[in-house]
Amino acid sequence: MQTLIKNGTIITEKATIRADLLIGGEKIIQISDTIQTDSSARIFDATGLLVLPGGVDVHVHLDLPMFGTVSSDDHYTGTKAAAFGGTTTVIDFVSQNSDNLLKNVKQLREKAERNAAIDFGLHANITHLSTVVEKAIPSLVKEGITSVKVFTAYNNRLRLLDGEIFKVMRIARDNGILTMLHAENGDVIELLVNEAIAEGHITPEWHSRTRPVWGSVEAVVRGSALSAIANAPLYIVHMNAAGEVDQLEYARKQGLNVMGETCPQYLFFTEEDLKKPDGSKWICSPPVRKEEDQKRLWEGLLTGVIQTIATDHCPFFYDGTKPIVYEDKPIAIPGKELGRNDFTKIPNGLPGVGDRMPVMWTEMVSSGRFSASQFVSLTCANPARIFGMYPQKGTIQIGSDADLVIWDSNLIVNYGVAHSQQRTDYNLYEGWKLRGFPVQVFSRGDLIVDRGNWLGKPGRGKYIHREPFVNQ
Ligand SMILES: [Zn+2]
């Protein structure tokens, strides 16, 4: 079946064009001034509306076990929430549950394939290195996994030593794999957390006080240095601090292939939010920082030092003892209340996958600070390109997947938990007035969101076999 989107204004990372767009099956097959179709085609009139590529969120955690509970969005609910917010592609992370990387991948992939409502890819976490793992890393590529994530924090849990990170980077480099880095100082955090607990500090603000910003700054330098020595590309996830942007800029000025991502929570919230009575809602790692950090992150986005905006979506209930109604059924999942008497037991993570596109559009484009094309670059095209999915995803071209959003840039939405589709009991943007919101969302040609109505279903999302990393 053919679908025609008429009279819309198409936005890509490079251009804004008034054109009709024709979808044949799962692909975009024609873009031109005026397209005529036979009477069997479905027609959407996008007069006065924009047509954007579906959003690409390359940093989400779905159905992730943590602190004796699990993040409250699974591969169905999280991808459904993504779709409502105009995101049609996500990348989740495979935990290294064993040294058999391919077995870990297979388990997560099968679960996600049964549940995902939009297309998804996978990154592989490398959190324990052995000769078996070193040999297995290259085999990820033929599974379509062309990025691995390493951590300089979470001692005795996820962290690798510098020498191990260096080894991973070299193996990755030789196989077209991009190394991603969670940049914080694990030793410092371990010490400060133990001291804080011993001194009886239990409130959420101690989460940020025990994760000092300089630990992140030095970890970005360290990661860049290792990437320079290994001659390997590097992608810094969830950058939250001014000093990190400075160091990323320095690395890039040296000609290093180091890239950076930030997330909406770091652009809009600060440590002051952690001091509120419900401060645990803002607990994520790394933590939200200060206003001067927000300012530098915005500058980094504007000047191109930072390449992508993702979410690190990993929601928990604020009060998981009280059920919410989701798809007509009550559900409660233990959440932030687990850490009521100990900040180290508050599950780390925030909702965001469905909020990202409309919140960022409001603050970037409706505010007049960024062009629509810059918005598309940071939320769609750059992430797709860096992670080997372009031009299948992240753009509007003939031959690209018909992942499209008909977007009303004048639609005003009083946003909050009642409006967002994330399966949790709160929303960080409660009471925000958003300007610009999806009207219709297509995933590979299927209309899955139509003016607030859900037409998608679990298992329709396909696994994306990503291409090897190429230098950006
Ligand atoms: Zn994450």
CATH number of the domain within which 314 lies = 3.20.20.140
Ligand 1 centre distance from Cα of residue 51 (Å): 29
Q: Do residues 47 and 74 share a domain?
A: no
Q: Which pLDDT band holds residue 471 (cuts at 50, 70, 90)?
A: confident
Residues in the chain: 472
Asked if residue 208 is part of any domain, the answer here is yes
Q: Do residues 7 and 63 share a domain?
A: no
Tokens (6 digits) for 252? 């890039």
Distance CA 171, CA 158 (A): 19
Residue 127 corresponds to which amino acid? T
Backbone conformation region of residue 42, classed left if phi is above 0, alpha if psi is from -120 to 50, else beta: beta
Ligand 1 centre distance from Cα of residue 32 (Å): 40
Residue 183: per-residue pLDDT: 98
Ligand 1 centre distance from Cα of residue 252 (Å): 23
Asked if residue 355 is part of any domain, the answer here is yes
Ligand 1 centre distance from Cα of residue 43 (Å): 39
Residue 279 has pLDDT above 90, yes or no: yes
Distance CA 373, CA 22 (A): 21
Residue 270 has pLDDT above 90, yes or no: yes
Residue 254 has pLDDT above 90, yes or no: yes
Average per-residue pLDDT in the chain? 97
Q: Which residues neighbour ligand 1 (ion) by CB within 5 Å?
A: 312
Q: How many domains does the chain have?
A: 2
Residue 290 has pLDDT above 90, yes or no: yes
Ligand 1 centre distance from Cα of residue 414 (Å): 28
Ligand 1 centre distance from Cα of residue 275 (Å): 23
Ligand 1 centre distance from Cα of residue 60 (Å): 6
Q: Which residue has the tokens 């601090």?
A: 241
**CA 289 to chain centroid:** 19
Q: What does the angle CA 140 – CA 175 – CA 384 come to, to the nearest 5 degrees?
A: 75
Tokens (6 digits) for 74? 């699974």
Tokens (6 digits) for 60? 């989400």
For the chain, the straight-line distance linking the first and the last C-alpha, in angstroms and rounded, comes to 37
Q: Which pLDDT band holds residue 348 (cuts at 50, 70, 90)?
A: very high
Ligand 1 centre distance from Cα of residue 420 (Å): 21
Q: Do residues 68 and 7 share a domain?
A: no
The dihedral through the CA atoms of 144, 150, 154, 157 has a sign that is positive
Pairing type for strands 446-450 and 453-454 reads antiparallel
Domain harbouring 45, CATH code: 2.30.40.10
Q: Check if the beta carbon of residue 260 is closer than 8 Å to that of residue 235.
A: yes
Ligand 1 centre distance from Cα of residue 238 (Å): 7
Measured in degrees and rounded to the nearest 5, phi and psi for residue 186 equal -60, -40
Q: Check if the beta carbon of residue 105 is closer than 8 Å to that of residue 381.
A: no
Measured in degrees and rounded to the nearest 5, phi and psi for residue 262 equal -125, 175
Ligand 1 centre distance from Cα of residue 61 (Å): 6
pTM: 0.98
Asked if residue 431 is part of any domain, the answer here is yes
- Strand partners for 149: 125, 180
Asked if residue 79 is part of any domain, the answer here is yes
